[in-house]
Chain A
Amino acid sequence: MSDKTANRKPTGYWSQVARDGKRMGWWFILPTVLLLLFIVVFPLLMQVYLSLTWWTPLDGIPWYRAYEGFIWFEQYGVLLSDGRFWGAIWRTLFFMLVAVPIEFLLGLGLAYLFIDNFPGRKIFYSILLTPMMVVPAVVGLMFFLLFQGTGPINDNLGLPATFSWLTDVNRAMIAVIIADIWQWTPLMFLILLAGMLGVPPDQLLAAKLLGGSNWQNFFKIILPRIKTVVIIVIVLRSVESFKVFDLIYIMTKGGPGVQTQTISIYLYKLTFGDLEWAYVAAIGLTILFVLSVIAARGLSYMARKRS
C-alpha cells in the first residue's frame, strides 16, 4: 500500500519528479500538522502549567498570571485523597465493565443469527442498526421518558408509579446501563457481523459436512477467525464508554446524589459548578497519563504479537 510508493527508489529524471511530489505532499500535510500543534502542544503545556496552581476563573486573574497562585503538586495530592474522584473512577469502570460485555454478548448472538440469509434479513438489519445512529443526547431523553415513574416501563411491568428508576439509589445505574446497551449493542452487532461474513463460507460448509454441530462451528471456526475483530470492538467500546457523558447527564445529571456520577460528569461539575479549573486540569492530566500508558502498552503488545 503506502510502502509501495515509499520503497520505490526513483533515479534520474524520476527522482526529480518524486521530489516535486513529496514537496506537494508536505504542503498537503502542513495544515493538519499545524492543527495538531494548535490543539495538542499548546493546550498540553497550558494544562501542565495550570495544574500546578490554584487558579480559578472566579479570581478575575487572567490565566497567564496563574503563577501567582503557584503551589507545585498540591492539586495532585488533593486528588489522591479525593473520595469523590475515586468514587467517580470506580463508577465509570463499573459502568464500562457491565455495559461492554453485555453489549458484546448480545451483539455476538445477534450477528450469528444474521450470517445466513433469511426472508426480511435486510429490513431487520437496518432496523437493528438504528439505535447507534440516534444522537446520544436524544437517547438520553428517550430513556428519561421511558423510566419516569409514570412512564411506560413501569406500566408494562405492572409496577406502581411510585416505583422510581432514575431517582433510586440502586436502580439509576441500572437504568443508564440499559440505555447504553440499547444504543451500542448495534455497533457490536454491525462490526462482529462484518467479521463473521469474512469467514470463508466453504470452511463452515466443510465443517458442517464433517458433522460439526452449530456450537462447534461457532467456537472452533468462527470465533478464532474473528479474534482481531473482537479485540477491535471491545477496545473501541471500552474507550468510548469510559468517556460516557451525554446519556447519563441527560437522564440523571449524575444523581441521585452521586450514584451515576462517572468521571466525565464529575469533571463537568467541577468545571462549571465549583469552577476549580486548576484541579480539573490536574485530574485531566492524570487521566491523560494513565490512558497513554495503557495505550502504549497495548500497542507494543499488539506489535509483539504480530511479529
Chain B
Amino acid sequence: MKTLSSALVLKYFFVLLATGVVLYPLIWMTTMAFKPYPEWTTVSGLSWLPLNPTLQNFEFIFYGKAEGLVVSLDRTIAGPLTASLITSIFGTIIAVVFGTLSSYAVVRFGLAQSLPLSVLQLRLFPPLAVMIPVMVMWAFIGAVDTWWGLSLIYGIVTLPFAFWLMKTFFEEVPIEIEDAARVCGCSYWRVFYKIALPIVKPGLATCALFVFILNWSDYLLALLLTQKEWVTLPVYMATLTSAMGGQMYGMKAALGVIAAIPPVVFGLMIQKHLVRGLTFGALKQ
C-alpha cells in the first residue's frame, strides 16, 4: 500500500518542522504565563507544561498582588489595557476616515495624483529619525501623555495603509453603478454615501481591523509620547522588570499573552486580505 509518495513525505517533514519552529516560542510563553515561580527557568528541569498550573501571574497583574507573593504592584494592567484600547481605536478611526475620503477622491475624480506616493513616504523613514520635532510639537501643544496625542500620531502613521487599502477597494467598485445613480439624479455625496460606501463595506471592515492591529502593535511611539497615565500595554510589559527589581518572567508572559491575542485573532479573521494590506494594495490574493 503505497499511498504516500516520497515527495509528500518530504513535504510533510518540512511543513511540520516549520510548524514546530513557529510554535516553540509561542508555547513557551503561553505555558510560562501559567507557571509558578520555580518553573520559570530550567534550573530544576525543563518542563513544557506547567507542573503546578496557577493563575497567580494573571492575578498579580490584574490586582497588583497575589497570594503567596511578597511583592506588590503599584500599577495594574487596567490603565495600560484601557490606554491601548482607546488609543488604538481612535487612531484607527482617524486613519480609516481620512484614508477612505481621500482615496475615494483620488480614485473617482482623478484628483491629487501625487497624493498616493506622498502618503507612502510616511512609511519610509525610521520613526526615531523624524520624531524630535514631533516630540517638541507634542510637548508644545500639551499632547504628550494624553489619549488624543497618541491617537493622533497613530492615525497619522497608519494612514498610508488605510489610504492604499481603501484605494484598491474603491478601484474595484464598477463605475457604471455610480454613473447610473448619478444619471438618476443622485448627488455626488449621496452616490458616495449610499452606493460606493455600502459596496466597499467589507473592505472597510478589513481595513479597520488591519489598521487596528498595527496601532495595537506599536511600542516605540507610545514609549516616546507617553509617560505615565497613557502608557500602553507593550510599554507597560517592558517596564515591569525595572519597576520590581527582579525579573518577573511569569507576569511578563501573562501580559504578552494578553497583548498578543487581539492581533492574532483579527489577523486570522482578515487572512484573505493580508497580502493586499501589507503590500499597500500592490498585490491581491
A residues at B contact (CB < 8 Å): 1-7, 17, 20-22, 24-26, 28-29, 31-33, 35-36, 39-40, 42-44, 46-47, 50, 63, 109-110, 113, 118, 124, 126-139, 141-143, 145-146, 148, 150-152, 154-156, 161, 182, 186-187, 190-191, 194-195, 197, 229, 232-233, 236, 239, 242-243, 245-246, 249-250, 263-264, 267-268, 271, 277, 280-281, 283-285, 287-288, 291-292, 295, 299
Contact = CB atoms under 8 A, between A and B. Distances in A.
Contacts of A299: 117
Interface in B45-75: 46, 48
Residue with the highest number of chain B CB atoms closer than 10 Å, among A32, A128, A145, A242: A32
B182 interface: yes
B216 interface: yes
Nearest to A185: B18
A139 to B, nearest CB: 8
List the 4 shortest-distance A-B pairs measured between CB atoms, nearest first.
A6-B110, A133-B267, A150-B41, A284-B129
Given A24-B109, A134-B264, 6 more contacts: A31-B98, A44-B133, A63-B140, A194-B284, A246-B219, A280-B132
A245 B220 contact: yes
B161 interface: no
A284 B263 contact: no
Contacts of A197: 285
Contact of B125 (A3, A6, A20, A291): A291
B268 to A, nearest CB: 6
Contacts, number: 284
B15 A113 contact: yes
A137 B42 CA distance: 23
Contacts of B213: 133
Contacts of A233: 279
Interface residues of B, number: 99
A25 B115 contact: no
A65 to B, nearest CB: 12
23 contacts: A2-B107, A3-B110, A5-B109, A28-B101, A28-B102, A32-B119, A44-B133, A47-B133, A124-B15, A127-B22, A129-B274, A136-B217, A142-B25, A145-B28, A150-B42, A152-B48, A161-B42, A232-B282, A243-B125, A246-B234, A271-B224, A280-B128, A292-B124
Contact of A29 (B115, B124, B135, B283): B115
Contacts of A63: 136, 140
A292 B264 CA distance: 33
A136 B259 CA distance: 10
Contacts of B137: 42-43, 46
Contacts of B260: 134-135, 138
Contacts of B29: 138, 141-142, 145
Given A150-B43, A284-B130, A36 B238 contact: no
Given A29-B115, A135-B234, A283-B129, A141 B253 contact: yes
Contacts of B282: 232
Interface in B92-137: 97-99, 101-102, 104-113, 115, 117-119, 121-137
Contact of A47 (B113, B121, B130, B192): B130
Given A28-B102, A124-B15, A264-B128, A239 B264 contact: no
A156 B42 CA distance: 10
Contacts of A229: 283
**Chain A interface mostly helix, strand, loop or mixed?**
helix
Contacts of B133: 42-44, 46-47, 50, 281
Interface of B: 8, 11-12, 14-15, 18-19, 21-26, 28-29, 32, 41-43, 46, 48, 97-99, 101-102, 104-113, 115, 117-119, 121-137, 140, 155-156, 159, 163, 171, 175, 182, 187-189, 192, 213, 216-217, 219-220, 224, 234-235, 237-238, 249, 252-253, 256, 259-260, 263-264, 266-268, 271, 274-275, 278-279, 282-285
Nearest to A141: B256
Contacts of A133: 213, 263-264, 266-268
A143 to B, nearest CB: 6
A277 B135 CA distance: 10
Interface centre among B23, B213, B220 (most CB of A within 10 A): B220
A189 B208 CA distance: 24
Contacts of B11: 113, 118
A165 to B, nearest CB: 14
A124 B126 contact: no
A241 to B, nearest CB: 11
Given A242-B126, A268-B128, A110 B220 contact: no
Contact of B22 (A26, A113, A128, A136): A128
A264 B126 contact: yes
B79 to A, nearest CB: 17
A33 B112 contact: yes
A271 B128 contact: yes
Nearest to A282: B132
B80 to A, nearest CB: 12
B129 A36 contact: no
A2 B105 contact: no
Contacts of B19: 124, 127-128
